[in-house]
Amino acid sequence: MTANIKVFTQSSIRIQDGARTVYLDPFRMDAAPHDADLVFITHDHYDHFSPEDLDKVRRADTVFVVPCKLEADARKALGPAAEIHAVAPGAHYEVAGLPFDTVSAYNARKPFHPKTSGWVGYVLSVGGERVYVSGDTDATPEAAAVTCDVALVPIGGTYTMDARQAAALVNKIRPRLAIPTHYGSIVGRMSDADAFAKAVEPPTQVEIQIR
């Protein structure tokens, strides 16, 4: 359904925006393409902020976007020459010609991603569409207020929404397309994707990439 978005594993995502290549939370990359124009990081957990995988996708001129609380660690990992932009939740930005909004990403009743940490999801304006990459979050009021054409949401449970909760969120925001993430490796079963797809209501379509 969409050729410009690729989910590798967990929440490791590549988006091709014309000639521009964008990564979000690269993790367990099999190859080292060194082709990233921009890299967005949602939070500091090892499966989202992986210096080893950042080195696989970065070039000398790659631009990085990270939450404010992660800026110091990012500068330490990426080196003094790296161009790093720190962002806060609930704001609009434009970096390297790419407009995007940040959305607070947190757990409402679990300790893993406190709201006070300032972790974020991103709504990227790419290819004439708004693409929401939620990061590790529950179905929060901020997530439910997102307007987007494509939504990439975690479904594995434990640290995030489970398949049922993620589908309920998608049914509220009603994107054109929903792509499940964050299952089948560290947490969640492969079958969670099928449960998610069955619970998502038309007209939203579901594309399962992690199999």
Pair of tokens at residue 53: 């995988």
Q: What residue ranges define each of the domains in the chain, with the CATH number in brackets?
A: 5-206 (3.60.15.10)
- Angle at the Cα of 48 from the Cα atoms of 138 and 97, rounded to 5 degrees: 95
Task: Please state the pTM of the whole predicted model.
Answer: 0.96
Q: For residue 30, give Cα distances in angstroms to 12, 13, 50, 53.
A: 11, 13, 13, 9
CB–CB of 69/87 below 8 Å? no
pLDDT tens per residue, range 15-70: 999 999 999 999 999 999 999 999 999 999 999 999 999 999 999 999 999 999 99
Pair of tokens at residue 12: 């490791």
In order along its 211 residues, the chain shows pLDDT tens digits of: 588 999 999 999 999 999 999 999 999 999 999 999 999 999 999 999 999 999 999 999 999 999 999 999 999 999 999 999 999 999 999 999 999 999 999 999 888 999 999 999 999 999 999 999 999 999 999 999 999 999 999 999 899 999 999 999 999 999 999 999 999 999 889 999 999 999 999 999 999 999 9
Pair of tokens at residue 43: 């939070």
